[in-house]
Chains A and B, each alone.
Chain A
Amino acid sequence: MTAERVLMKGNEALAEAAIRAGCKCYFGYPITPQTEIAAFMAKNMPKRGGTFLQAESEIAAINMVLGAASAGVRVMTSSSSPGISLKSEGISYIAASDLPCVIINVQRGGPGLGGIQPAQSDYWQAVKSGGHGDFHILVFAPNSVQEMADMVVKAFEKADQYRIPAMILSDGMLGQMMEPVVFPEISDKMPEKPWATNGHGNKRKHNIINTLFLQPDELEASVNARSKKYETIVENEQDAEFYLTDDADIVVTGYGAASRICREAVDEARKNGIKAGLLRPKVLWPFPVKDYQKIVPTAKSILCVELSTGQMIDDVKLAVNCSVPVEFYGRTGGNLPSAEEIIKKLAEINDSLS
């Protein structure tokens, strides 16, 4: 009997939850700070009826994901920033094939090889430029070890539901830190996948999964159909958390590890008489525009905090139609902002409001 609450690293919790969610194949290549995912999979997949394979490269791994997803199994790969760049061609092919899969990015500092400490500088890559062509992927943003587990389960479900790649955009801090986690009960009933290119004993016409279209009109029809699907996702899958925003003059906004520090800063700022709140996107694509619209009537200012020089801030400005001024505070290089730094910024903004 395993204890109900378990103390785990974010990377381990995510890997365990993926197996519980029915992930049968994991393909990856080691890179800090996400290597625990691969190590956990290597140890546990063979014991639990799955396949772990360390590919010769990230590019090989993502193409193995394409193959397994085509066959209809739940499949996952994980990497960190430079490795995700290598995977981007494959992600485009998977999106173009309308295949479900889960991709984990435990972000580290960039660009280039950058560093191994936490960062959030792959936001644009995740939500806007995961590869070439007209496509989107679902992007989830956990901010605790518990959510690393919960969101990977959701990512598998939503990926299957919409036949779309889903990404968990995490960071080195969430991957490495330890917190207690409780694993949810997960149904072992997998959705039917009548489109899969698996064996069927001549019971139907064979399925084809393909991304090349010889006629422009055929490609356009395929792109348009996918675009319709994206409209449904944008309508249904926005998600954000509100904390003390009802009467907030300044709404702090940030995702992932940054949001944890923001929440602490909001609590401290309140003690100092600054009416601050927190709006935390839990899904980054589709961006929770509807949730940002809710704060427009009351917020006098928005402070966007990221472990980057400012990427999500563009979407925040668009979400509020620039009707509320949006300020920024960020750290890079693997450094985390302290709550004090954010409180200082909040105090400056608060002074400018009066």
Chain B
Amino acid sequence: MKKIYIITGHYGCGKTNLSVNLAVRYSEQGLKTAVADMDIVNPYFRTADFSSLFREKNISFYSTLYANTNLDIPALNFDIEAIIMNHECIILDIGGDDAGAVVVGRYFDTLKRYMSSTEMIYVINRYRETGDDAEEAVRLMREIEQSARISHTGIVNNSNLGRLTAPEDIISSVGFAEKVSELSGIPVLYHTADRNLKCRQLDGLAEYIDIYVKTSFA
């Protein structure tokens, strides 16, 4: 059974980190996995930073020709149909906001044929600058859907404060995620937490993830 995950959300909510986690998880489960870095918006901190990890984990990786170069040209040069056909699990890491989601709309004619296998996940972080304004989060979700021409199927609550995240920060973000879910009618799939924060309060509540996207200094 083929699975396609389209990862969307606000700039800096953690789309790339979640994409890398999903890819590693499914590849380790034995699925033939591919990640496509489809971010045409932001030239810093992107999945293309992890190509060596992907090689090590046997994950196929596709990115724009100019990712991690000094050219920030919004060009996509790979065949999404071929990537989908050749893999069992496909993760599409999309750029931020509705501007980034335009690329999903561009591939709509291909993606629509795989709708029953597709999950479009909206990643949220209540500690980003839009704050815990659930209505704002839903408004952005709808804008992304308009650009993407596809509706979301799930929400991942990825609320964090970077290196300074404490378990309480994650616990106190649950209500926000539930509010976004209630207003949008889209279910919360899970809440994430850095594996290093593992503790009793989070066990059972959070899905532990690894933090790949970070600065090279503390």
List B contacts of A12 (CB < 8 A).
129
| Contact B132 A264, beta carbon cutoff 8 Å | no
Does B29 interact with chain A (Cβ within 8 Å)?
A: no
The closest CB in chain A to the CB of B127 belongs to A7
| Contact B218 A5, beta carbon cutoff 8 Å | no
A179 to B125, CA, bound (A): 13
- Residues 128 to 157 of chain B near chain A (Cβ within 8 Å): 128-129, 131-133
| Contact A115 B70, beta carbon cutoff 8 Å | yes
| Contact A5 B161, beta carbon cutoff 8 Å | yes
Does B47 interact with chain A (Cβ within 8 Å)?
A: no
Other-chain contact of A32, B72, B125, B163, B216 (Cβ < 8 Å): B72
Least Cβ–Cβ distance between A143 and chain B, in angstroms: 10
| Contact B216 A5, beta carbon cutoff 8 Å | no
List B contacts of A177 (CB < 8 A).
44-45, 215
Does A8 interact with chain B (Cβ within 8 Å)?
A: yes
Chain B residues touching A, range? 20 to 34
Number of A residues near B (Cβ < 8 Å) is 34
Does A261 interact with chain B (Cβ within 8 Å)?
A: yes
- As a 0/1 sequence over residues 1 to 31 of chain A, the CB contacts with chain B under 8 angstroms (1 = contact) are 1110111110011001000000000000000
Does B126 interact with chain A (Cβ within 8 Å)?
A: yes
A173 to B44, CA, bound (A): 9
Q: DSSP majority for the A interface?
A: mixed
A76 to B174, CA, bound (A): 38
Other-chain contact of B43, A3, A9, A33 (Cβ < 8 Å): A33
List B contacts of A180 (CB < 8 A).
127, 161-162, 164
Other-chain contact of A116, B43, B45, B131 (Cβ < 8 Å): B43
List B contacts of A260 (CB < 8 A).
215, 217-218
- As a 0/1 sequence over residues 156 to 183 of chain A, the CB contacts with chain B under 8 angstroms (1 = contact) are 0000000000000000110011111000
Does B190 interact with chain A (Cβ within 8 Å)?
A: no
A264 to B18, CA, bound (A): 27
Q: A32-B43, A116-B43, A180-B164 are in contact. Are A339 and B131 (CB under 8 A)?
A: no
A7 to B12, CA, bound (A): 9
Does A184 interact with chain B (Cβ within 8 Å)?
A: no
Q: A33-B44, A179-B162 are in contact. Are A9 and B126 (CB under 8 A)?
A: no
Does A227 interact with chain B (Cβ within 8 Å)?
A: no
- Residues 38 to 86 of chain B near chain A (Cβ within 8 Å): 42-45, 70, 72
Q: A33-B44, A172-B44 are in contact. Are A178 and B12 (CB under 8 A)?
A: yes
List B contacts of A3 (CB < 8 A).
126-127, 131-132
List B contacts of A36 (CB < 8 A).
11
Does A293 interact with chain B (Cβ within 8 Å)?
A: no
- As a 0/1 sequence over residues 153 to 194 of chain B, the CB contacts with chain A under 8 angstroms (1 = contact) are 000000011111000000000000000000000000000000
List B contacts of A8 (CB < 8 A).
12, 128-129
The closest CB in chain B to the CB of A176 belongs to B44
7 pairs of A and B residues whose beta carbons are closest in the complex: A115-B70, A2-B131, A176-B44, A7-B127, A180-B161, A260-B217, A261-B217
On B, residues with C-beta under 8 Å from A are 11-12, 42-45, 70, 72, 125-129, 131-133, 160-164, 215-218
Pick 12 A–B contacts, CB within 8 A, sort by A.
A6-B129, A6-B131, A7-B129, A7-B160, A7-B161, A12-B129, A114-B70, A116-B70, A260-B215, A264-B218, A338-B216, A339-B217
Given A8-B129, A176-B42, A260-B217, 13 other A-B residues pairs in contact with their CB atoms under 8 A: A1-B131, A2-B133, A3-B127, A6-B128, A7-B127, A8-B128, A117-B70, A177-B45, A177-B215, A263-B217, A264-B217, A264-B218, A339-B217
